[in-house]
Copies of this chain bind each other. A is one copy, B any other.
Amino acid sequence: MKILEYEMDRDEIVDITPDIESFVKNCEKDEGAVLVFSVGSTGAVTTLEYEPGLLNDLPRAMERIAPYSDSYEHHKTWNDDNGSSHIKSAVIGTSMIVPFSKRRLLLGTWQQIVLINFDTRKRRRRVILHVL
């Protein structure tokens, strides 16, 4: 098990594939699957082609599901402004599993594992890796 940490801006998307590749290269197995788990309720993990266009397109599309400027009951509970962040995180999800063989992740050529910070402020986000 390993914990990765990333300082992230609002709606920032980070390519965490190299860090997971390096974890898998040094693990005890040649073949298997690695759990990628994002700690917290305003982050998310998924796969995405990591290129500059989509880094803007994806957060913009998520605004259609949960617009920042909408009114959320969550804001009444905490006098907070990140109700939309929680919903985006719950929809995309916080856990995924990626298979590997010969110590290499079996991703598509244009498929990267990304961590997203949907919170409305800078956050230090943690990701837990665990070989299954």
Tell me the A residues contacting B by CB distance below 8 Å. Answer: 1, 31-33, 35, 37, 39-41, 46-49, 51-54, 56-58, 61-62, 64-66, 72-78, 83, 86-87, 89-99, 101, 106-108, 110-112, 114, 128, 130, 132
Contact = CB atoms under 8 A, between A and B. Distances in A.
Given A49-B41, A54-B86, A106-B128, A96 B93 contact: yes
B74 A99 contact: no
Contacts of A101: 1
A60 to B, nearest CB: 9
Q: Is the interface of A mostly helix, strand, loop or mixed?
A: mixed
Given A54-B72, A94-B96, A95-B97, 13 more contacts: A37-B99, A39-B106, A39-B108, A41-B48, A41-B111, A46-B93, A48-B86, A51-B78, A53-B72, A53-B77, A54-B87, A58-B86, A97-B97
A52 B65 contact: no
A45 to B, nearest CB: 9
B40 A110 contact: yes
5 contacts: A39-B111, A54-B87, A57-B66, A58-B86, A99-B128
A113 to B, nearest CB: 10
